[in-house]
Amino acid sequence: MNTVHCQDLSKSFSGVRAVDHLNLDIPAGAIYGLVGPNGAGKTTAIKTMMNIIQPDAGSAAILGCDSRLLGPKQFARIGYVSENQQMPDWMTIDYLMGYLKPFYPAWDDARADELLRHFDLPRNRKLKHLSRGMWMKASLASSLAYRPALLVLDEPFSGLDPLVRDELIECLLERAPETTIFLSSHDLAEIESFSSHVGYLHQGRLLFSEEMTTLSNRFREVTITLAGPSPLPANLPAAWLEPQTADCVLRFVQSDFSDERSPREMAERFPAARDIGFEPISLRQIFLAIAKSARGAHGGSSHTSTDQEKQA
């Protein structure tokens, strides 16, 4: 069963489509990273699928329950941490944990103590006196103490120093087997380091959603050294993103690479080529190629689907 399921979920503000027919499935046990630039609609997508704000169209199901019907029983199995989350800053960390405990039947005192020790959190310090890193640790500890089936993290690492980020990621990986983790981020290096699945949101549209290994395997930077200077060939396949030429070299990102098929197809298409090379690329390079291609394909509009976008 999918922990999260969205069907044509849409939300607009003042005529601007923030989430555009979002179709998304997050399998149980996944660490799913929803990425995209600032303003892509990630926070709106999360709030809409969680029924924090009402969608204009479409539907979402969380833990098998229609999100419009989410109640205390379901929320007791969901953790939520956001960079803009508000907590009662007059409370101490110990007071916060004690305050939250009655709301969650599965609250585990031993685990709560373990998390506070793991994060080296000062129990008697008020939340308003915590550093940004400690505040995020306290928020995460309070969400993990009741062993949620789903943990939603909205830009959880924004503004944190590398050591704190590593601590939080390590903690998430330790809890991953029992919790589906759904996080949004614009930091691609963080997502690449530990996510099992990834989706890319661009101007409210989900351009792709798949397992990280599948995504990495199907993208390659292709460099073809031709016999002599040549203009950019016409009618290139839609799966060849960001093609460019310089002197005798044609270079592009291939989004449907196959170990068996691609070398043969390139050799057949460029029989006079002196050399054909395929290099794996980083998640950041993949997303840049997709974003630039999508931007060029529909001229900045978020409402037109293209063949190139579908291939990516």
- Which tokens hold the place of 176? 């991953």
Lookup result for tokens 């529909």:
298
**Count of domains forming the chain:** 2
114, 136: one domain: yes
Coil, strand, or helix at residue 126? strand
242, 180: one domain: no
* Residues in a beta bridge with 65: 62
13, 42: one domain: yes
pLDDT band (50, 70, 90) for residue 307: very low
What per-residue confidence (pLDDT) applies to 176? Answer: 64
Give the pLDDT mean for 160-185: 84
Lookup result for tokens 């087997």:
177
Last residue of a domain, one of 210, 229, 249: 210
Give the pLDDT mean for 231-246: 90
CATH number for the domain including 120?
3.40.50.300
234, 270: one domain: yes
- Which tokens hold the place of 178? 């029992």
Look at residues 3, 1, 298 and name the one whose alpha carbon lies nearest to residue 150.
Answer: 3
pLDDT band (50, 70, 90) for residue 169: confident
151, 255: one domain: no
What per-residue confidence (pLDDT) applies to 269? Answer: 92
| Phi and psi, residue 13, nearest 5° | -130, 120
CATH number for the domain including 272?
3.30.70
Last residue of a domain, one of 191, 210, 229: 210
CA distances from 300 to 32, 203, 248, 291 (A): 27, 9, 32, 11
Structural domain of 143: 2-210
239, 193: one domain: no
186, 268: one domain: no
189, 78: one domain: yes
Last residue of a domain, one of 175, 210, 245: 210
Give CB contacts under 8 A, 24+ apart, made by 246-251. Answer: 248/274, 249/223, 249/224, 249/225, 250/223, 250/224, 250/226, 251/221, 251/222, 251/223, 251/224
pLDDT tens profile 81-140: 987 788 899 999 999 999 999 999 999 999 999 999 999 999 999 999 999 899 999 999
